[in-house]
A and B are shown apart, each in its own frame.
Chain A
Amino acid sequence: SYELTQPLSVSVALGQTARITCGGNHIGGKNVHWYQQRPGQAPVLVIYRDSNRPSGIPERFSGSNSGNTATLTISRAQGGDEAEYYCHVWDTYTEIFGPGTRVTVL
């Protein structure tokens, strides 16, 4: 079965750039979506189809996908960006979520 890997945690200084990776076999050939989940809240879609931002999501959030790694980039990190981030793919009638990455803004 298809598996996704993410770093357990990422720390970023206020105003700097955080990069969260999502690894999977030939993930570059799949649509990757990213969700932000703050404690006690439902997930929020921040990037869909690798690099598209839903309306209302700041331009500071961007995504890329190639080879075996997809990346969510948070530029000019703010305190409100502290959350768990999950990648998500669809593979042969099955959906898979990554294990999640905890982002801490220092």
Chain B
Amino acid sequence: QVQLVQSGAEVKKPGASVRVSCKASGYTFTNYGIGWVRQAPGQGLEWMGWINGIANYAQKLQGRVTMTTDTSTSTAYMDLRSLRSDDTAVYYCARQERVSAAHDYWGQGTLVTVSS
């Protein structure tokens, strides 16, 4: 069965960086993209970007976010730099259908807390 397992919760200080990993199993990793979505406390879903061979990022995160994949381990990574308090959120990875961009399987989420 398809599974996406994310790394554990993180607490970071403002200005620091964070890496969230997302290990995929149960399907051919290279046949799908990986999207990243975050959700601030009590807020809605915010698209961050996707990677499907090449990466595409939300304009508001350009310059602070990098998404990569390691096909040898079927793992995707999301790096976010220069963290601010408003980056505090649950970060989700999701398998992404290439044609329609639907996110059909999601990771469990990773809470990133940015606090001094």
Asked if B50 is at the interface (CB within 8 A of a chain A CB), the reply is: yes
- Chain B minimum-CB-distance residue to A48: B102
- Chain A minimum-CB-distance residue to B6: A42
Interface residues on A, range: 20 to 34
Query: In the complex the two chains form, what is the Cα distance from A69 to B97 in whole Å?
Result: 23
| Cβ contact within 8 Å between B56 and A31 | no
Smallest distance from the beta carbon of B43 to chain A beta carbons, Å?
9
- Chain B minimum-CB-distance residue to A96: B47
| Cβ contact within 8 Å between B108 and A42 | yes
| Cβ contact within 8 Å between B104 and A43 | no
Q: B47 contacts which of A44, A48, A54, A97 (Cβ < 8 Å)?
A: A97
A71-103 interface mask toward B, CB cutoff 8 Å, 1 = contact, 0 = none? Answer: 000000000000010101010011111111000
Query: In the complex the two chains form, what is the Cα distance from A33 to B37 in whole Å?
Result: 15
Query: In the complex the two chains form, what is the Cα distance from A28 to B45 in whole Å?
Result: 22
User: In the assembled complex, which residues on chain A have CB atoms less than 8 Å from the CB atom of B106?
Assistant: 42-44
Give the total number of A-B pairs whose CB atoms are below 8 A apart.
60
User: In the assembled complex, which residues on chain B have CB atoms less than 8 Å from the CB atom of A61?
Assistant: none
Asked if B63 is at the interface (CB within 8 A of a chain A CB), the reply is: no
Asked if A105 is at the interface (CB within 8 A of a chain B CB), the reply is: no
Smallest distance from the beta carbon of A102 to chain B beta carbons, Å?
11
| Cβ contact within 8 Å between A93 and B109 | no
Asked if B77 is at the interface (CB within 8 A of a chain A CB), the reply is: no
Q: Which A residues have a C-beta under 8 Å from some C-beta of B? A: 31, 33, 35, 37, 42-45, 48-49, 54, 84, 86, 88, 90, 93-100
14 further contact pairs, Cβ within 8 A, besides A43-B94, A100-B44: A31-B101, A31-B102, A33-B101, A42-B107, A44-B106, A45-B102, A48-B97, A48-B104, A88-B45, A90-B101, A95-B47, A95-B50, A97-B45, A99-B44
Q: What are 17 A-B pairs with beta-carbon distances under 8 A?
A: A31-B101, A31-B102, A33-B101, A37-B45, A43-B45, A43-B92, A43-B94, A44-B106, A45-B103, A48-B97, A48-B100, A84-B44, A94-B47, A95-B101, A97-B44, A97-B46, A98-B44
